[in-house]
Structure 1
Amino acid sequence: MKYMSICIISFFNLIFFSISLFIMSLYFIMNEYVIFLEWEVVSLNSLSIVMTFLFDWMSLMFMSFVLLISSLVIYYSKEYMSGDLNINRFIMLVLMFVLSMMLLIISPNLISILLGWDGLGLISYCLVIYFNNVKSYNAGMLTALMNRIGDVALLLAIAWMLNYGSWNYYYYLDYMKNDNNMMLIGGLVMLAAMTKSAQIPFSSWLPAAMAAPTPVSALVHSSTLVTAGIYLLIRFNLLLVNTWMSQLLLLISGLTMFMSGLGANFEFDLKKIIALSTLSQLGLMMMILSMGYYKLAFFHLLTHALFKALLFMCAGMIIHNMNNFQDLRLMGGLSIYMPLTSSCFNIANLALCGMPFLAGFYSKDLILEIASLSVLNMFIYYLFYFSTGLTVCYSFRLVYYSMTGELNCSSLNVLNNEGWIMLKGMLGLMFMSIIGGSMLSWLIFLTPPMICLPSLMKFMTLLVCVIGGLIGYFISKISLFFINKSLNNYMTSLFVGSMWFMPYISTYGLINYSLKIGMNTFKNFDQGWIEFIGSQNLYNKLVNFSKFNNVVMNNNLKIYLLIFILWIMILMMFLMFL
């Protein structure tokens, strides 16, 4: 009961703070307020250490959404993690994780951003290795080391900020945006954001982080860890406008979106499909952000957080009931056995696809229409629309495998909807996934955006989604007979399913050759000629000398007599010759 009370207390506190911050954000939007707080932590002679906090509508609204999702995830964990004896430790880690995210959101200072940034990295490592097995340890190391690259980039940006006399980047962005030093800082911040938000070539850690408990995945992949990079770039958006950095980021994020969407269509692990879906949406946010529409990127960030957290929570409920099986091919007919969970799952999936009037529709449709309205080359335009079609394709494939047909797993499984505590957490997010998009579109955009397009381009988003859904459905039906046996295994093992070889490049590619060089060096030098000529040979010589010396010492009288006789004999021979 003591452990359960921690969940309930955390839930109510976080909900209270979430509602309070949301009301404050509304007040700030209406009155166009920005509050900049400075807290002097230490003052000693001429030295003063000052903590700065920035409160505007964006930071307050993002904090309210993070707190809302984390409160529902903690409430969900009360039942999901009920078998864990250390659930209080788990809740404390989650709360520290949320606190690190809060610090990052309200910091206009690179030093305090680094505190929150490193806090996220460290605690995410602790959460990924939570189950203490080899797989989770490897995933945790990959996550921590990949994010370490971004931490180094942020440290270098802090070092370059010394040129301005202060680390409060907010003071300098507008006036110094064409300065070479500030451009370099922007490039380093972009690199840090790419590692945290898992863009190519740093994508391999995001599916690996699925080794964490499902409530952690719901939190990490919706509103905290992976969105930290996006949020940081939204704050630094002035440095990206009309520069080579924005063009590079546009290409990389487009390829990330395409790669993850394609990979999800060849994946059979339920959680990994949703992780690749997160990667695809992060690519979409980065693309629209690199085009200069930071409010639109922030809008999609919030709506995506709602339905993605719900999607993970539904997946956790399904895995919980399937005796911890995650393979899609072992599921089927779940809509009959788990109707409430299936309803939440389908609503989250439709919101992800951009179904009209659900949360994802308002942001995704606007992003694609803005892309049609902008001056883009055909390759980037193709990446936008084709990747959107792939999103619908893998979503329908996911629904087809899990919700329809017959149950394919053990007949001893008892599938039910009796996890009422988990269901309450999911229903709260389901409600937000339905109304969240329209609510945010009224709040964030004070005037409705006017987009004038030809009718064919206007309907293009809907057309791409319908075609993607049909392809996903038919491929799923056919794959039961053909693709499973031939194309899928070939493609998965070769290129598409392995995220364009990125997991191999970032693990075996880095380790394999260095280990082989080390092994050859050890064999040929440490255990080869160097060993024979050097230390080993010297040791053998000293041993032989010692043995000889020992023989001499033990038999010295005999040796002296023998030498005396030999000496006499030599003298006699000498005299005889004379």
Structure 2
Amino acid sequence: MFYLISFYLFIYNVIMIFIFILMFNFKIIKIFEWSILSFMSMKINFIIYIDWMSVLFINVIFLISSMVVLYSIEYMKMDLNIKYFMYLILIFLSSMILMIISPNMISILVGWDGLGLSSYCLVIFYQNKKSNVSGMVTILSNRIGDICILLMISLMLYKNSWNFLFIINVNGFLLFLIILCSLTKSAQIPFSSWLPMAMSAPTPVSSLVHSSTLVTAGVYMLIRFSHLINMNFMFFLMLISSFTMFMAGMSANFEFDLKKIIALSTLSQLGLMIYSISLNLQMLAFFHLLTHAMFKSLLFLCSGIIIHNFFNHQDIRYMCFSNFNMMFIMMVFHISSFSLCGIPFLSGFYSKDLIIDMYNMSNYSFIFIGIFYMSMFLTVSYTTRLSFYLIVKINNSNCYVNFNLNNMMNYSILILFIMSIIYGSMLNWLMFMSLNKVFLTLKIKLLILLIMLLGILNGLIFFKNCYMMSFFLIKFYNSMFMFPLLLKKNKVNLLKLSNFLLIIQELGWLELLFFKKIINSLMLMMIIKNYMNIFYIILFITILLMLIVYL
């Protein structure tokens, strides 16, 4: 059954490739509309909007989902609830596709809520305290985006339509809600804490949900709404995304959990995508979104095998000489890491190099330029540090490796490995070849190579001298600049405030002065109505008796 699911998803991926080629070459856009409810002048319609961008994104989702399902058959074969795990994956896919093809805010809300609930169920799949805490933080952070969509639905009521593709001008508060909704799903500052915590989910979930699909939903929504966002909000996006990139890069250099390092690299790349949107480079952001989905899902699948064969240890300090036992997996892992750094001519190079070149051609503050290049430097640094820990780390303790690699896991990793190498060049040759012309001096191009070399050197220094740093410094950067602690305090205060308002207003004065008054008035009206009915009956009987006596 699970093999059939993986096979059907792969077939759907192949079908989507042909549909994409057709729609992109002939510029075809299809809109399907069904009327669900009509109230006076308002109509609630279910609309499906299909263009080349949505088809290409769905194609990537189907490919990664097919490989993740094939990988999960072996990875979770000892789990008793694997059937429910597959059902949750399919529910998540359905919600994601509904969100992608919907230009209507009401149908987007359905897909958005489906994404949040299914991801919550997948995070708490392992029933333990850590997973439950992570799931609670995840769903509370994502509920902010759900509230923003509900407010957008109410604010768009005066437009007499909930279809954002047909709206030209919107007010500032509606734009703020759009941006806030996207930032919560894409885990930008100050909502960054839930993404590393969500790594308590099974590794196939991290590969599919928390690297390539769920977290990119906010970026995709910003790309769709980008024609509405003005320059003031673009500057706000640039500010948030640049600090997110810097914070994620610094935290990843002090992290020892393998999955959390990859999660922080995802956070950094999400910041880069939103940074590109703030530069009005929406197509390049979408390009990087697709290439990132390929090599990041591959990174998570390889990390799952490494963790599985080290008896579920995720600390990179205990992983020694693993390259001798898993040569193929370590080769794939490091090549996908190089793709993350933008090494020529891997998949990530084509998108990252274009974004960097277009940024170098623009005129922005030296502060943003410094943060941007510092984020690049930190990306190369934590990738080099992780590679040194996995390759040349010599551990004085005994290392026990449970070498077990199934062919099904090999096949899924091999296909994603091929795509992470050639997918960027394929997309670049297909549709991004003549997107922009780049005019840069040789010094600026060599500056990028110098930053990469300095990042490699810094990663080696962090690898050698990690035990000589102060405990407070490691704790500060490892805790993502104390943002989770601040949000924890604020969430507790917010829940206390909501409970206070519930007791004082809804269960107190509001109920006493409003709801009980209405109920008492309705009951009084019912009593008066009953008395009036009795009066009419008595009056009718009296008139009837008088007529009988008179006759």
TM tier, smaller: 0.7 to 0.9
Matched letter for residue 56 of structure 2: M
Please name the residue that 2:482 is paired with: 501
**Contact 1:295–1:444 (Cα < 8 Å) also in 2:** no
Deviations 1:88-146 (A, max 9, x none): 10001011101100000000111111111110000111000000100000000000001
1:38 aligned to which of 33, 40, 46: 33
**Contact 2:123–2:202 (Cα < 8 Å) also in 1:** yes
Deviations 1:444-488 (A, max 9, x none): 325252100111112222221121112112321x22xxx32433x
Query: CA–CA distance in 1 between the matches of 2:51 and 2:320?
Result: 47
Please name the residue that 1:430 is paired with: 417
Question: Is 1:207 equivalent to 2:196 in the alignment?
Answer: yes
* Pairing 1:198-347 to 2, within 5 Å after superposition: 198-241=187-230, 243-347=231-335
Query: CA–CA distance in 2 between the matches of 1:47 and 1:196?
Result: 30
**Contact 1:330–1:408 (Cα < 8 Å) also in 2:** no
Question: Is 1:511 equivalent to 2:492 in the alignment?
Answer: yes
After superposition, the Cα gap between the structure-2 partners of 1:78 and 1:514, relative to the gap in structure 1 and judged at 3 Å, is closer
Please name the residue that 1:528 is paired with: none
Query: CA–CA distance in 2 between the matches of 1:161 and 1:43?
Result: 16
After superposition, the Cα gap between the structure-2 partners of 1:352 and 1:409, relative to the gap in structure 1 and judged at 3 Å, is farther
Deviations 1:176-206 (A, max 9, x none): 2xx43xx322210100000000110000000
Question: Is 1:72 equivalent to 2:78 in the alignment?
Answer: no
The alpha carbon displacement at 1:163 in A equals 1.3
2:10 aligned to which of 15, 37, 42: 15
Question: Is 1:357 equivalent to 2:352 in the alignment?
Answer: no
**Structure 1 stretch 396-405 or stretch 336-345: which is displaced more?**
396-405
After superposition, the Cα gap between the structure-2 partners of 1:71 and 1:321, relative to the gap in structure 1 and judged at 3 Å, is same
Question: Is 1:486 equivalent to 2:469 in the alignment?
Answer: yes
Partner-residue secondary structure (3-state), 2:314: coil
- Gap runs ≥5 in structure 1: 519-578
After superposition, the Cα gap between the structure-2 partners of 1:163 and 1:514, relative to the gap in structure 1 and judged at 3 Å, is closer
Query: CA–CA distance in 2 between the matches of 1:47 and 1:247?
Result: 36
Matched letter for residue 469 of structure 2: S
Partner-residue secondary structure (3-state), 2:259: helix
Question: Is 1:92 equivalent to 2:87 in the alignment?
Answer: yes
Please name the residue that 1:544 is paired with: none
Matched letter for residue 486 of structure 1: M
Query: CA–CA distance in 1 between the matches of 2:220 and 2:179?
Result: 11
Query: CA–CA distance in 2 between the matches of 1:510 and 1:92?
Result: 31
Please name the residue that 1:379 is paired with: 367
**Contact 2:49–2:103 (Cα < 8 Å) also in 1:** yes
**Contact 1:254–1:384 (Cα < 8 Å) also in 2:** yes
Query: CA–CA distance in 1 between the matches of 2:293 and 2:17?
Result: 16
Sequence identity percentage: 46
Please name the residue that 2:179 is paired with: 190
- Gap runs ≥5 in structure 2: 500-551
**Structure 1 stretch 498-507 or stretch 429-438: which is displaced more?**
498-507
The alpha carbon displacement at 1:392 in A equals 0.7
State the TM-score, normalizing by the size of structure 1.
Answer: 0.83
**Contact 1:222–1:306 (Cα < 8 Å) also in 2:** no
Query: CA–CA distance in 2 between the matches of 1:509 and 1:410?
Result: 44
Matched letter for residue 354 of structure 1: G
**Contact 1:334–1:407 (Cα < 8 Å) also in 2:** no
Matched letter for residue 455 of structure 2: G
Please name the residue that 2:456 is paired with: 469
Partner-residue secondary structure (3-state), 2:467: coil
Query: CA–CA distance in 2 between the matches of 1:239 and 1:46?
Result: 25
* Pairing 1:448-463 to 2, within 5 Å after superposition: 448-463=435-450
Question: Is 1:441 equivalent to 2:436 in the alignment?
Answer: no
Please name the residue that 1:524 is paired with: none
Please name the residue that 1:550 is paired with: none
Q: CA RMSD in A?
A: 2.0
Partner-residue secondary structure (3-state), 1:239: coil
Query: CA–CA distance in 2 between the matches of 1:196 and 1:473?
Result: 34
Query: CA–CA distance in 1 between the matches of 2:309 and 2:89?
Result: 24
**Contact 2:322–2:391 (Cα < 8 Å) also in 1:** yes
The alpha carbon displacement at 1:32 in A equals 1.1
Which has the greater radius of gyration?
Answer: 1
**Contact 2:320–2:390 (Cα < 8 Å) also in 1:** yes
The alpha carbon displacement at 1:427 in A equals 0.8
**Contact 2:211–2:263 (Cα < 8 Å) also in 1:** no
Partner-residue secondary structure (3-state), 2:330: helix
Deviations 1:213-269 (A, max 9, x none): 00000012222110000000000001224x211101100100000000010000000
Matched letter for residue 444 of structure 1: M
Please name the residue that 1:24 is paired with: 19
The alpha carbon displacement at 1:40 in A equals 3.3
Query: CA–CA distance in 1 between the matches of 2:127 and 2:8?
Result: 30
